[in-house]
Amino acid sequence: MKFMNVLYCAICGAANTETDTICFACGNALLHSQDFDEPTQMQTITILEGRYRLIDRVGKGGFATVYKAEDLHTKRIVAIKEITLKKLKPQEIIDATDTYHREIRFGTLLKHPSLPEVYANFMDPEHWYIVAEFIDGQTLEDYRQQLPAGLLSLQEGLSIALQVCDVLSYLHSRQPPIIFRDIKPDNIMRTRTGHIYLIDFGIARQFRPGQRRDTQTLGSPGYAAPEQYGSAQTTERSDIYSLGATLQALLTGQDPLDADVATAPTKKPVTLPAELSALLANMLAKDPAQRPTSITEVKRRLEKISSTVGDTWLTAQSPVIPPPPPPPPSTPYYVPSNAANVKNPASQPKKLPAWLKVVAIATILLLVTGFGNVALSTFPHFSLWQHVEINTGPPVMLDRVPADQQVLNIAMNSATQEPLDPATVQYTQSMQIVSMTSAGLVSFNDRMEIVPQLAQSWETSSDGYTWTFHLRPNLKFSDGASLTATDVAYSLDRALDPALKYGTAPYNLQYIQGADQRVSGKIKTLIGQSILTPDDNTLVIKLSKNIAYFLDTLTCPCASVVEKSLIDKYSQSFTDHLSEGGSSGPFEFSPGTKQKIELVPNPFYYGSKPTLTKISFTSYVDTNTAYDSYRVAQVDFVDNIPASMIDKVDQNTDFHQSLQLSTTYYAMNYLTKPFDNIKIRQAFALAINKDLISQKIRNNTVLPTNHIIPQGDPSANTSLSGPAGVTTTAGDPVLAKKLLQEGMQEEGISSMQAFPSVTLTYYKSSSVAVQNEITAMQAMWKTNLGLNIKLQAMPASTFYNKVSNSNDARNIQMWRIGWIADYPDASDWTTLQFGQGAAQNTYAYGQNQSKAAAHQQEIQRSLARADVTQNQAQRISMYRNAEQDLVNDVAWLPLYQSYDYYVVKAKLHGLNVNAMGMIAPEDWSSIYVTQ
Ligand SMILES: Nc1ncnc2c1ncn2[C@@H]1O[C@H](COP(=O)(O)OP(=O)(O)OP(=O)(O)O)[C@@H](O)[C@H]1O
């Protein structure tokens, strides 16, 4: 007789028999052991990371092989770059680490239509992988080889050069500027429709010495500017040189490597227009000082050449090449500048050669089929036509609608509505409104860089303890009253007032000298102590610690300015009177209602005025209702689309997603048994298959993770291992069981019956996914460790109170919670969570009786050292090392990182949600509505 084994339902935890397929209790499909299995060896040849099905090998660089693949989770086509470590020498591995991270960081943070987006990265013991936007095209080097005489037409060369100017101008305008340093035909890809991409942010450029055409440390021979060979620092002008060399090579066939070589093969000379020859000579000047001063200047001159060179010259001089496919069958948002009066014969529709018809039909099909839509969802922030049009000239914009129609309607979740006091707002949507109406000294832009707001400049003392901010002159609140350093001082001090419960200032502003005493009520004000106003335009802040990320902390809403006269008049109910004044951001409040908040441009705002003339936030009880309103065009923007709705909308071109600095994790209290034992903590972590939770419960709408510092943060560590060296997010039930037994032995727990009772506490949520996630976790602990975990749900306020109160926290053993970055700095994920005495260290990391406490205190000291380390690279490396220890000790059991899913009407342009779920204040001046 065969005994039936028990199979616990991953959704409700009920015990079923092994042969069941449907849970008798909840009716959900049961997960059988094969569902948990890793892909087989056979599959790993074609399926990477359990989700990327390799389709084709599309390229090979020095150390990287690039594959076309299908992401089985998102159903999109991606490029996977694979670096094989065993081929690298030890020094090369060190260099590769740096450049691998650089490629991921740039690819994640930089957003431009000519830069492929990086979606993810992962690794196995022998390889590193980067998953990026797939470019359906070829390098310019390959492309030109196929052309008659290997030359591009003047017209196409100019179009490409102008596109490179655009992307370089974007890179050069970052702060600090990014110099690409490796512009060459091999690193520019061209799609069939003529759109170009820059590839290769240097991942392999240091690893191919000795080959004539290979990238070397300093750039590519011939294309690299002379100063890249010497000790001089490369600047924007080095990229100008490389662009000059590239354009010259594409148009004339003159290989820059051959330029100075006596034996260079003689080629039939190609005559270029005099203005272009002069510009190229200028760009290729050996002395950087003789080159054009900026890429903007190069672009201006190229545009002039493009518009003045006659058609006769173009047709007479250009080699004959097939014309590009016709423009898409609809009005593009961007149209060629000469569209109204097309003269250029090469850009006019012609009878197509047969092969081009195939391309053209395929292009049209791509646009109208679901596949086209999938591809579109990979370009969240740019209009469709920007990527598919054949743009022969500089783009011009279609007409915007008149000012009275420049209106944006945003859906707002009524459940998370709260008083809009900058010092106390907790929810992202309130923070969004505050960021539009209240300015601080500094803020973030959409690339998460710090930019000046009320302060136009600042400096620090040599010891880093004193910061002096210089305000812009003549600042005003929205009621016309002057805004001076006194107002900023008042606002910072008020945010630390103990009367304001639940604000974020107690930890965000904790490093202002005396902040702790102000928060505990021991002192009444910091003004005149550590916050000084020597004159109306100068604010001095003294710190208790010279933390390297002080400016980041000032980007928080709690550091935004409020108007004292309004608060004096109405006390805490001033938030009911915001239309009377107090705004200092691009918008001010107009008298709205509780259900509909309305913002209009602030006439006294110091910066560029918004184009939008009205923004309405309308309350909805749930996202389904909000989305229904969106479909009938009552609202234009719905944020935070829940996972359950993604299937309905993710094929739409107006659907967007943005990876958030936001992680859901399970916390375990070091002060309670059994969680004072590291092996038992590791067992709990490795019993969980995070991939399965993502797939079966979250419909693949989250990113399973072992990380504490999330992806997208500049310090995210792509080489991180999970607990006990396990690298996958699928867990390891066998190792988990072994670790549990070893942990029990260390603790003298002789049997499962003697195992301490464990309760998981969580706040009651109406979300079915949260409930399912918790019961699935419970089922996995039962199945893989044989432990029965009790569940305890409580209202959110009781829960948060219990967790944030350290005495009560001792009564909580394990709880489910999440963290959203206050700012993109590793300290927000490490020191703030696990530092000695840190506000969020409710797990008693370091300060406990466990055997590991001494080691934990060592980590706390290293975090404290990292906080004051001013060398950024060194700081990042210190946080990464600490994170590896924290992950190994299961200081958190991170489950997944979230995406923000949102829909926005195509008529809105420039709207971009950043990694903290926000639209940056400086973006508002470039958001507008077209027909
Ligand atoms: N995102 C992408 N989509 C499609 N193909 C790509 C993509 N990125 C790279 N390729 C292809 O793979 C080839 C190699 O890529 P890449 O140049 O980035 O590798 P590499 O090893 O870093 O190169 P190098 O040694 O020249 O620095 C490219 O020439 C191109 O053909």
Residue with CA closest to ligand 1 atom 31: 59
For the cut 70, the answer to whether the pLDDT of residue 852 exceeds it is yes
Strands in 269-391 per DSSP E: 334-336
Tell me which amino acid residue 783 is: T
Residue with CA closest to ligand 1 atom 8: 199
The Cα-based distances of 393 to 307, 389, 463 in angstroms read: 8, 11, 53
Banded model confidence at residue 380, pLDDT cuts 50, 70, 90:
very low
Please tell me the distance from the alpha carbon of residue 706 to that of residue 704, in angstroms, as a whole number.
Answer: 7
268-286 confidence digits (pLDDT tens): 567 889 999 999 999 999 9
Instruction: Tell me the average pLDDT across 725-737.
Output: 95
Banded model confidence at residue 54, pLDDT cuts 50, 70, 90:
confident
Nearest-atom number in ligand 1 for the CA of 60 is 14
For the cut 70, the answer to whether the pLDDT of residue 631 exceeds it is yes
634-666 confidence digits (pLDDT tens): 899 998 887 667 766 766 778 888 889 999 999
For residue 653, report the distance from its CA to the centre of ligand 1, in Å.
28
pTM as predicted? 0.58
Structure tokens at 739: 């670790």
Nearest-atom number in ligand 1 for the CA of 189 is 30
Q: Are 168 and 160 in contact (CB under 8 A)?
A: no
For residue 37, report the distance from its CA to the centre of ligand 1, in Å.
33
Pick from 199, 208, 212, 218 the residue to mutate for probing ligand 1's pocket: most ligand atoms within 8 Å of its CB.
199
For the cut 80, the answer to whether the pLDDT of residue 597 exceeds it is yes
CA angle in degrees (0–180, nearest 5) for 853-854-857: 85
- The residues, ordered by sequence, that sit 6+ positions from 418 with a Cβ below 8 Å of its Cβ are 424, 425, 426, 427, 430
Q: Between β-strands 538-542 and 531-535, what pairing exists: parallel, antiparallel or unpaired?
A: antiparallel
Banded model confidence at residue 82, pLDDT cuts 50, 70, 90:
confident
Average pLDDT over the chain, rounded to an integer: 80
Residue with CA closest to ligand 1 atom 20: 61
Q: Find the helix or strand (DSSP H, E) in which 819 lies.
A: strand 814-820
The residues lining ligand 1, judged by C-beta closer than 6 Å to any ligand atom, are: 58-59, 61-64, 66, 79, 116, 132-135, 139, 186, 199-200, 203-205, 208, 215
Q: Are 96 and 84 in contact (CB under 8 A)?
A: no
Q: What is the pLDDT of residue 460?
A: 94
CB count within 10 Å of CB 752 equals 13
For the cut 50, the answer to whether the pLDDT of residue 214 exceeds it is no
Q: What is the pLDDT of residue 370?
A: 23
For the cut 80, the answer to whether the pLDDT of residue 328 exceeds it is no
Indicate the range of 316-325, 662-671, 769-778 predicted with least confidence.
316-325
Q: Could you tell me what percent of the chain has a pLDDT over 90?
A: 48
Q: What is the pLDDT of residue 22?
A: 64
Q: Are 705 and 895 in contact (CB under 8 A)?
A: yes
The answer to the question of whether 81 is labelled as a binding residue is: yes
Q: Find the helix or strand (DSSP H, E) in which 83 lies.
A: strand 77-84
Peptide bond connecting 328 to the previous residue in cis, omega within 30 degrees of 0: no
Indicate the range of 43-57, 224-238, 256-270 predicted with least confidence.
256-270
Q: Find the helix or strand (DSSP H, E) in which 161 lies.
A: helix 154-172
Structure tokens at 96: 């590769």
Please tell me the distance from the alpha carbon of residue 672 to that of residue 676, in angstroms, as a whole number.
Answer: 6
Please tell me the distance from the alpha carbon of residue 152 to that of residue 160, in angstroms, as a whole number.
Answer: 10
Segments in 661-716 forming alpha helices (H): 678-686, 690-692
Q: What is the pLDDT of residue 840?
A: 87
Q: What share of the chain is helix, strand, coil (3-state, %, to 5)?
A: 35, 20, 45
Q: What is the pLDDT of residue 449?
A: 82
Say how many residues make up the chain.
931
Nearest-atom number in ligand 1 for the CA of 63 is 21
**Nearest 10 degrees: Cα torsion 227, 231, 235, 240:** 10
Closest-CA residue to 791 (of 817, 814, 770)? 814
Please tell me the distance from the alpha carbon of residue 427 to that of residue 321, in angstroms, as a whole number.
Answer: 57
Please tell me the distance from the alpha carbon of residue 731 to that of residue 10, in angstroms, as a whole number.
Answer: 15
For residue 81, report the distance from its CA to the centre of ligand 1, in Å.
8
Q: 499: burial class by Cβ within 10 Å (0-12, 13-18, 19+)?
A: exposed
Hey, is 876 helix, strand or coil? helix
Name the DSSP letter for residue 398.
P
For the cut 50, the answer to whether the pLDDT of residue 339 exceeds it is no
Residue with CA closest to ligand 1 atom 15: 61
Nearest-atom number in ligand 1 for the CA of 61 is 21
- The residues, ordered by sequence, that sit 6+ positions from 622 with a Cβ below 8 Å of its Cβ are 413
Q: Is domain 138-257+274-308 in CATH 3.60.40.10, yes or no?
A: no
Structure tokens at 371: 């596949």
Q: What is the pLDDT of residue 635?
A: 92
Tell me which amino acid residue 930 is: T
Q: What is the pLDDT of residue 806?
A: 57
Structure tokens at 672: 């309670």
Pick from 54, 77, 81 the residue to mutate for probing ligand 1's pocket: most ligand atoms within 8 Å of its CB.
81
Residue with CA closest to ligand 1 atom 28: 59
Strands in 526-625 per DSSP E: 531-535, 538-542, 587-590, 596-601, 614-620
Please tell me the distance from the alpha carbon of residue 603 to that of residue 624, in angstroms, as a whole number.
Answer: 36
Residue with CA closest to ligand 1 atom 22: 204
Strands in 639-686 per DSSP E: 655-668
Q: What is the pLDDT of residue 150?
A: 84
Closest-CA residue to 103 (of 186, 180, 207)? 180
| DSSP-assigned states of every residue in 220-232 | -TTTS-GGGGSSS
Nearest-atom number in ligand 1 for the CA of 68 is 4
For residue 200, report the distance from its CA to the centre of ligand 1, in Å.
6
Q: Are 46 and 53 in contact (CB under 8 A)?
A: yes
Domain ranges of the chain: 1-35, 47-133, 138-257+274-308, 403-638, 659-900
Higher pLDDT, 108 or 721: 721
Higher pLDDT, 677 or 428: 677
CB count within 10 Å of CB 214 equals 16
For residue 116, report the distance from its CA to the centre of ligand 1, in Å.
11
Hey, is 733 helix, strand or coil? helix
Q: Is domain 403-638 in CATH 3.40.50.1820, yes or no?
A: no
Tell the residue number behind the tokens 């916050």, with chain if given.
531
Tell the residue number behind the tokens 């957003």, with chain if given.
111
Instruction: Tell me the average pLDDT across 574-582.
Output: 95
Banded model confidence at residue 533, pLDDT cuts 50, 70, 90:
very high
For the cut 70, the answer to whether the pLDDT of residue 704 exceeds it is yes
Instruction: Tell me the average pLDDT across 771-790.
Output: 94
Instruction: Tell me the average pLDDT across 34-44.
Output: 34
Q: Are 21 and 35 in contact (CB under 8 A)?
A: no
Nearest-atom number in ligand 1 for the CA of 182 is 27
For residue 139, report the distance from its CA to the centre of ligand 1, in Å.
8
224-234 confidence digits (pLDDT tens): 888 776 555 67
Higher pLDDT, 330 or 457: 457
- The residues, ordered by sequence, that sit 6+ positions from 342 with a Cβ below 8 Å of its Cβ are 336, 348
Q: What is the pLDDT of residue 656?
A: 83
For residue 196, report the distance from its CA to the centre of ligand 1, in Å.
14
Q: What is the pLDDT of residue 217?
A: 41
Q: What is the pLDDT of residue 759?
A: 95
Residue with CA closest to ligand 1 atom 11: 59
| DSSP-assigned states of every residue in 129-195 | EEEEEPP-EEEHHHHHHTSGGG---HHHHHHHHHHHHHHHHHHHTSSSPPP----SGGGEEEETTS-
Instruction: Tell me the average pLDDT across 724-745.
Output: 96
For residue 242, report the distance from its CA to the centre of ligand 1, in Å.
18
Higher pLDDT, 794 or 85: 794
Residue with CA closest to ligand 1 atom 21: 61
Instruction: Tell me the average pLDDT across 401-420.
Output: 90
Please tell me the distance from the alpha carbon of residue 692 to that of residue 731, in angstroms, as a whole number.
Answer: 10
Q: What is the pLDDT of residue 18?
A: 57
Instruction: Tell me the average pLDDT across 854-869.
Output: 96
Strands in 419-528 per DSSP E: 442-444, 450-452, 455-460, 466-471
511-528 confidence digits (pLDDT tens): 999 999 999 999 999 999
CB count within 10 Å of CB 236 equals 23
Indicate the range of 150-154, 165-169, 246-250, 886-890 predicted with least confidence.
150-154
For residue 34, report the distance from its CA to the centre of ligand 1, in Å.
36
For residue 61, report the distance from its CA to the centre of ligand 1, in Å.
6
CA 82 to chain centre: 22
Hey, is 132 helix, strand or coil? strand
Indicate the range of 217-221, 326-330, 780-784, 824-828 predicted with least confidence.
326-330
CA 172 to chain centre: 20
Beta-bridge partners for 451: 443
For the cut 50, the answer to whether the pLDDT of residue 342 exceeds it is no
Sheet holding 52-60, edge to edge: 47-48, 52-60, 64-71, 77-84, 127-133, 118-124
For residue 595, report the distance from its CA to the centre of ligand 1, in Å.
51
Higher pLDDT, 383 or 890: 890
CB count within 10 Å of CB 887 equals 22
Q: Is the ipTM of this complex over 0.95?
A: yes
In CATH, the number for domain 47-133 is 3.30.200.20
- The CATH architecture annotation of domain 659-900 reads Roll (3.10)
Residue with CA closest to ligand 1 atom 30: 59
Nearest-atom number in ligand 1 for the CA of 132 is 1
- The residues, ordered by sequence, that sit 6+ positions from 211 with a Cβ below 8 Å of its Cβ are none
For residue 532, report the distance from its CA to the centre of ligand 1, in Å.
54
Tell the residue number behind the tokens 């201006």, with chain if given.
300
For the cut 50, the answer to whether the pLDDT of residue 360 exceeds it is no
Expressed in angstroms, the distance from the first to the final Cα of the chain is 74
For residue 140, report the distance from its CA to the centre of ligand 1, in Å.
12
Hey, is 476 helix, strand or coil? strand
Nearest-atom number in ligand 1 for the CA of 135 is 3
For the cut 70, the answer to whether the pLDDT of residue 311 exceeds it is no
Q: Could you tell me what percent of the chain has a pLDDT over 70?
A: 77
Q: What is the pLDDT of residue 618?
A: 92
CA angle in degrees (0–180, nearest 5) for 634-635-640: 145
For the cut 50, the answer to whether the pLDDT of residue 902 exceeds it is yes
| DSSP-assigned states of every residue in 541-563 | EEBSS--TTHHHHTTSGGGS---
Nearest-atom number in ligand 1 for the CA of 133 is 1
Tell me which amino acid residue 190 is: R
Q: Are 666 and 893 in contact (CB under 8 A)?
A: yes
Cα Rg, the chain, nearest whole Å: 29
Name the DSSP letter for residue 658.
E
Higher pLDDT, 426 or 193: 426
Higher pLDDT, 742 or 820: 742
Residue with CA closest to ligand 1 atom 4: 135
Pick from 136, 189, 192 the residue to mutate for probing ligand 1's pocket: most ligand atoms within 8 Å of its CB.
189
Q: Between β-strands 655-668 and 758-763, what pairing exists: parallel, antiparallel or unpaired?
A: unpaired
Nearest-atom number in ligand 1 for the CA of 62 is 25
